[in-house]
Chain A
Amino acid sequence: MLILGLVVAAVLGPLYVWWQNDNPTVKRYGIGSAVAVIGAAATPFAMGRCAFNEGTSGVDHLLAYSLMAGGAWLALMIMQALFDRSDGKKSDSAAMTGEIRTGGFRLGWWVPWMLLSPTLIILIWFLYLPAVQTFTLSTKLTKLGAPKSVDVCFGNFTELLITDPWKLVAYPLLAIAAVYGARFWLGRSERGTWNRKGAEVASMFAMLSIFVAMYAMFSPGGGGQVAYRPVYLNTVIITVGIVAFGMIGGLAVAYLAFRKIRGGSLYRTFLIWPYAISPAVAGVLFFMIFDPTAGIFTHTMDVVFGIDVPNYRESAVLAQSSIILASGWKILGYNILFYLAGLQTVSTDQIEAAVIDGASSWQRFVKIVLPALSPITFFLLVTNLTYAFFEVYATIDFMTKGAPAGKTSVAIYEIIRIGVNNGDLGRGAAQSVLLFAAVIAVTVWQFQTSGKRVSYGGS
């Protein structure tokens, strides 16, 4: 009741300020903070307020507060969008372009919506609704065919995290502080000085500190907690490995294949083939190459060279490398395809000019080709990351089944193992929410950092 009273007071206060004051900026702040408080207050109501029930821990409260902050932020964003919209209406030319673009000037506002409706209905029914259900499911302990389910609130999430709420707050704050600190240093340093170099190194470490902070936040297991830290580590290693191998390898092969060679088009077609293979088949292929009993590679090494190749599934490094190799090989064809297309758009004039200026081939590659390819690199980074996050299940299932002892069990493998194979729907849903959040975070981060350096040509 006390909380409710505070919330009402917090809403009424800014609204009163808004009512009394004629200054538009203050008015906006007033309504903005009111909306934010409403958003924050609505979140625990939507979540059933269960995080503050008896028997909940500090970590539960922490998650609830973060959710409330998220709710406030979301409400503010919606508010801002609405303001922008009403601002746009006032500007005649903007409204004009908008209406011309949408065709809204001839027909009612509802026509575009109606034309979109078949797609929207399918999207809502098959994508958005299940996504919302995943969120509800993630707060439950339930199994397929069970007569009842138990509400566990954030239990499925908190058991993946360490149990000390202060550390959970401190680690991300430290990481964010490191990032902003490095950015600040970068802004204060002159280009080309040692100071600048130091700042660049620092900002790299600051980026790494985010991953380290997350590593520290996940539970190492024991005491009824789920050991999610190793899963996180595996996911980072394997994802980074696949993306790095797939993209660097793709660019290297595409650059070599782009040169004029006899039978080049045929050759290039063959290079793209692995893309047509499904992840499961890629897994089977590499399994048959490296399998210790039936593998072609191991057998040849044994018979021809007398080398006893170790079982790749019994060493963490070999197992993870083989997953990276198989998955990276599969996405390689896709990357080659896009880089080949991209290389054709690189301006030959610039290259010729550089040749005349006496630039070496490496300098031409780094200073001209790479920047020209940046939009494609950015696009490939997003698609490769999505692939490495979501489509490696079949490859892993065929090659290692998570061996040795879970060292190749990445997030998506764990989700399917727990949610589908063990039928633990709640935990599976919770982990997929986590993966969902990770993908969103990585994508946002990419748009913010790489987006600035991407040149699409033109003005």
Chain B
Amino acid sequence: MKGLLKYLVLLAVVMLVAAACSSDDSDSGTDTTAAATETTAAATETTVAATETTAATATTAAPTEKIDIDFWVAFSDESRLGFANDRAAEFNEGHPEYNVRVTSFASYNDVFDAAILAVDSGEPPGLIHFFEAATRQALDAVDGDGNPIFKSVTDAIAGRTEILGEPVVLDSVVDAARNYYTVDGSFYSMPWNTSTTVMFNNMDMLNEAGITEPPATWADVETACAAVMALDDAPSGCITWPNHSWFVEQTLGQQGELLASADNGRTGRATEVFLESDGMMNYLEWWKSLNDAGYYTYTGLQRDWDGTSNAYLAEEVAMLVYSSSDTTFFDDNAEFTNVASFMPYDGDVDYVGNLIGGATIWMLDGMETTTEDGALAFLNFFSNPANAAAWHQLTGYIPITQDAVDLLESEGWYDESPNSKVASDQLAAAKNTPASLGALLGNFVGIRDVITLAIEDILVNDLDVATRMADAQAEAQKSLSEYELLFGG
């Protein structure tokens, strides 16, 4: 009995090991059989179909194997993700040999981390959606063998004007976006959602306070706020915007101030970051003075897009500086006269220009030519004039190509919704300098967090701007130096 049990156990082990070792072979074996069964099934179908002459052509026209192209998107809301899904479905219909699959992720960082891990494990996606502040990070990312993960879209298009019947739209991309994403002379990734900061004004409230035009400069904002807060039914605050580093970067661009060395990282690798510049101090002092005067409403959270937007819609503030990406949303949901205007700037400093924000679609390197062409065709289809215009109308992100702008103009869209034109106009008014292009630097996401944390500290704990920013500068510089140690040269 004892011996028998031992043998049984031994047998079980041997079987387990054998199964584990041969699993690959047996799997492929099953696959072949399955495929064979499918083939016979298909053959049967064909014979069945052949009897019905009309259906026969359809069956034979169906391609044997579709080429999958994975497209990882950092949106998870119904409208924006839905837009991507719809375009993918249309593309797949027009190009039956390809199958673009959209996968949704919670954030840009999630997409990127997942893509890096997927590259390491040998099953990378074809296209990923990644944001502007991490452009340096994307360019620096390498796989296990030290090769760059992403391929320049311009290089891949290689001067073609049409790919698989889809006209190339890359040359028509508006300057603001083209200049931002052009690094070392190459336009690396295809812009998708692109916006800038604009101000939304509750004109009912402002008119009541005797302000007839949206404030243009910082001084105008203070005047308007003094008037609004003096109202009998004054709101709890006058103006708000998210404590997001993007707004800080915008004001630096307006004042022509650099955030990083090497011309904001445009003429070389940025190795120094400047958080104590005059422009930075100027803006933060102004911000703090607004807060101290009770004009600025801080929601108490960093990067709080929802809270600020809710405060504006609930008429708890008269003005909201925000991303133009939600222009359509505010137009649809504001129960008052909502007017968009340029982001306020310091009237005492010469205006240089606002910058863009948003994300582009990056193409991964190492795809086969046919797959890559499919991915490129999809990119150009995705931003063709009709789609780019539809995307703009859906959200408020700027129409990314000049052709789309022309199309919208011919349709009379801007007469119908003038707020939608503000963002494009503001970007067109910018001078093309490194300051107004915005910075490209390593660890930008981490450095942005250093900035917003310092601002929160200043606003909530009433700290001295210069002292607090000196600490932030040290921390941010350490972060950038470490990045350069790992990625630079």
- A joins B in a complex: yes
Stretch from A10-18, A42-50, A417-425 that touches the partner: A417-425
Q: State whether the Cβ of B487 lies closer than 8 Å to any Cβ in chain A.
A: yes
In chain A, positions 365-399 with a C-beta closer than 8 Å to chain B are: none
Among candidates A114, A150, A406, A423, residue contacting B485 with C-beta atoms closer than 8 Å: A150
Residue among B116, B453, B457, B460 facing the most chain A CB atoms (10 A cut-off):
B460
Given contacts A311-B300, A313-B300, contact A291 B307 (CB under 8 A): yes
- Decide if A292 touches B109 in the complex (CB within 8 Å): no
A149 CA / B142 CA spacing, docked (Å): 13
B188 partner residues in chain A, CB cutoff 8 A = none
Among candidates A149, A404, A424, residue contacting B456 with C-beta atoms closer than 8 Å: A404
Given contacts A106-B2, A293-B307, contact A149 B449 (CB under 8 A): no
Among candidates B5, B316, B460, B482, residue contacting A405 with C-beta atoms closer than 8 Å: B460
In chain B, positions 438-463 with a C-beta closer than 8 Å to chain A are: 443, 445-446, 449, 453, 456-457, 460-461
A405 CA / B117 CA spacing, docked (Å): 33
Among candidates B116, B443, B460, residue contacting A144 with C-beta atoms closer than 8 Å: B116
B interface size (C-beta, 8 A) = 44
A238 CA / B126 CA spacing, docked (Å): 44
B140 partner residues in chain A, CB cutoff 8 A = 145-147
- Decide if A406 touches B443 in the complex (CB within 8 Å): no
In chain A, positions 134-157 with a C-beta closer than 8 Å to chain B are: 141-150
A224 CA / B478 CA spacing, docked (Å): 8
A314 CA / B142 CA spacing, docked (Å): 42
Among candidates A150, A294, A313, A406, residue contacting B453 with C-beta atoms closer than 8 Å: A406
Name B487's closest neighbour in chain A (CB-CB): A146
- Decide if B457 touches A405 in the complex (CB within 8 Å): yes
Among candidates B116, B299, B478, B486, residue contacting A292 with C-beta atoms closer than 8 Å: B299
Q: State whether the Cβ of A401 lies closer than 8 Å to any Cβ in chain B.
A: yes
Q: State whether the Cβ of A281 lies closer than 8 Å to any Cβ in chain B.
A: no
Given contacts A293-B307, A421-B445, contact A145 B109 (CB under 8 A): no
Q: State whether the Cβ of A303 lies closer than 8 Å to any Cβ in chain B.
A: no
For the residues of A in contact with B, the DSSP-based class is loop
Given contacts A314-B300, A422-B443, contact A147 B486 (CB under 8 A): yes
Map CB proximity to A onto B297-320 as digits: 1 under 8 Å, 0 otherwise.
011111100010011001010000
- Decide if A294 touches B13 in the complex (CB within 8 Å): no
A142 CA / B487 CA spacing, docked (Å): 10
Q: State whether the Cβ of B160 lies closer than 8 Å to any Cβ in chain A.
A: no
Q: State whether the Cβ of B411 lies closer than 8 Å to any Cβ in chain A.
A: no
A244 CA / B453 CA spacing, docked (Å): 30
- Decide if A422 touches B482 in the complex (CB within 8 Å): no
Q: State whether the Cβ of A285 lies closer than 8 Å to any Cβ in chain B.
A: no
- Decide if A145 touches B149 in the complex (CB within 8 Å): yes
A107 partner residues in chain B, CB cutoff 8 A = 2, 5-6, 9
Measured CB to CB, the closest approach of chain A to B386, in angstroms, equals: 36
In chain B, positions 1-29 with a C-beta closer than 8 Å to chain A are: 2, 5-6, 9, 13
Q: State whether the Cβ of A252 lies closer than 8 Å to any Cβ in chain B.
A: no
A314 partner residues in chain B, CB cutoff 8 A = 298, 300, 460
Among candidates B9, B112, B113, B137, residue contacting A111 with C-beta atoms closer than 8 Å: B9
- Decide if B316 touches A293 in the complex (CB within 8 Å): yes
- Decide if A403 touches B460 in the complex (CB within 8 Å): yes
- Decide if A421 touches B142 in the complex (CB within 8 Å): no
What range describes how many residues of A lie at the interface?
A: 35 or more
Measured CB to CB, the closest approach of chain A to B227, in angstroms, equals: 22
Name B311's closest neighbour in chain A (CB-CB): A293
Measured CB to CB, the closest approach of chain A to B381, in angstroms, equals: 29
A404 CA / B446 CA spacing, docked (Å): 18
A148 CA / B142 CA spacing, docked (Å): 10
Q: State whether the Cβ of B471 lies closer than 8 Å to any Cβ in chain A.
A: yes
Among candidates B13, B478, B486, residue contacting A146 with C-beta atoms closer than 8 Å: B486
- Decide if B301 touches A403 in the complex (CB within 8 Å): yes
Name B138's closest neighbour in chain A (CB-CB): A145
A406 partner residues in chain B, CB cutoff 8 A = 453, 457
A421 CA / B478 CA spacing, docked (Å): 17
Name B113's closest neighbour in chain A (CB-CB): A144
Q: State whether the Cβ of B42 lies closer than 8 Å to any Cβ in chain A.
A: no
- Decide if A224 touches B316 in the complex (CB within 8 Å): no
Given contacts A222-B471, A293-B311, A313-B299, contact A404 B478 (CB under 8 A): no
Measured CB to CB, the closest approach of chain B to A374, in angstroms, equals: 42
Q: State whether the Cβ of A400 lies closer than 8 Å to any Cβ in chain B.
A: yes
Name A308's closest neighbour in chain B (CB-CB): B236
Name B483's closest neighbour in chain A (CB-CB): A143
In chain B, positions 57-84 with a C-beta closer than 8 Å to chain A are: none
Measured CB to CB, the closest approach of chain A to B189, in angstroms, equals: 16
Measured CB to CB, the closest approach of chain B to A164, in angstroms, equals: 21
Map CB proximity to B onto A97-121 as digits: 1 under 8 Å, 0 otherwise.
0000000001110010010000000
In chain A, positions 237-295 with a C-beta closer than 8 Å to chain B are: 291-294
Measured CB to CB, the closest approach of chain B to A365, in angstroms, equals: 41
B6 partner residues in chain A, CB cutoff 8 A = 107-108
A193 CA / B97 CA spacing, docked (Å): 90
A401 partner residues in chain B, CB cutoff 8 A = 301-303
Name A293's closest neighbour in chain B (CB-CB): B311
A224 CA / B482 CA spacing, docked (Å): 13
Map CB proximity to B onto A303-321 as digits: 1 under 8 Å, 0 otherwise.
0000000011110000000
Q: State whether the Cβ of B141 lies closer than 8 Å to any Cβ in chain A.
A: yes
- Decide if B109 touches A147 in the complex (CB within 8 Å): no
- Decide if A145 touches B301 in the complex (CB within 8 Å): no
Map CB proximity to A onto B29-59 as digits: 1 under 8 Å, 0 otherwise.
0000000000000000000000000000000
A417 partner residues in chain B, CB cutoff 8 A = 449
- Decide if A145 touches B142 in the complex (CB within 8 Å): yes
Among candidates B314, B443, B478, residue contacting A294 with C-beta atoms closer than 8 Å: B314
A148 partner residues in chain B, CB cutoff 8 A = 486
Q: State whether the Cβ of B146 lies closer than 8 Å to any Cβ in chain A.
A: yes
Map CB proximity to A onto B460-489 as digits: 1 under 8 Å, 0 otherwise.
110000000001001000100011011100
B149 partner residues in chain A, CB cutoff 8 A = 145
Name B134's closest neighbour in chain A (CB-CB): A423
Measured CB to CB, the closest approach of chain A to B391, in angstroms, equals: 28
Measured CB to CB, the closest approach of chain A to B322, in angstroms, equals: 15
Measured CB to CB, the closest approach of chain A to B450, in angstroms, equals: 10
Measured CB to CB, the closest approach of chain B to A96, in angstroms, equals: 18
A403 CA / B299 CA spacing, docked (Å): 10
- Decide if A403 touches B300 in the complex (CB within 8 Å): yes
Map CB proximity to A onto B125-163 as digits: 1 under 8 Å, 0 otherwise.
000000000000100111000100100000000000000
Given contacts A292-B300, A293-B316, A294-B310, contact A422 B445 (CB under 8 A): yes
Residue among A150, A291, A406 facing the most chain B CB atoms (10 A cut-off):
A291
- Decide if B456 touches A400 in the complex (CB within 8 Å): no
- Decide if A142 touches B486 in the complex (CB within 8 Å): yes
Measured CB to CB, the closest approach of chain B to A402, in angstroms, equals: 8
A222 partner residues in chain B, CB cutoff 8 A = 471
A152 CA / B270 CA spacing, docked (Å): 24
Map CB proximity to A onto B148-192 as digits: 1 under 8 Å, 0 otherwise.
010000000000000000000000000000000000000000000
Name A315's closest neighbour in chain B (CB-CB): B460
- Decide if B301 touches A400 in the complex (CB within 8 Å): yes
B482 partner residues in chain A, CB cutoff 8 A = 141
A142 partner residues in chain B, CB cutoff 8 A = 486
- Decide if A145 touches B2 in the complex (CB within 8 Å): no
Measured CB to CB, the closest approach of chain B to A379, in angstroms, equals: 35
Among candidates B116, B316, B443, B445, residue contacting A145 with C-beta atoms closer than 8 Å: B116
A149 partner residues in chain B, CB cutoff 8 A = 486
Known interface pairs A107-B2, A404-B461; 8 further A-B residue pairs with C-beta atoms within 8 A, sorted by A's residue number: A144-B113, A293-B316, A311-B300, A401-B302, A403-B302, A405-B457, A406-B457, A422-B443
The 3 closest A-B pairs by CB, nearest first: A313-B300, A405-B457, A145-B141
* 15 sampled A-B residue pairs with Cβ under 8 A: A106-B2, A107-B9, A142-B486, A143-B487, A146-B486, A221-B471, A224-B478, A312-B300, A314-B460, A402-B453, A403-B460, A404-B456, A405-B457, A406-B453, A420-B113
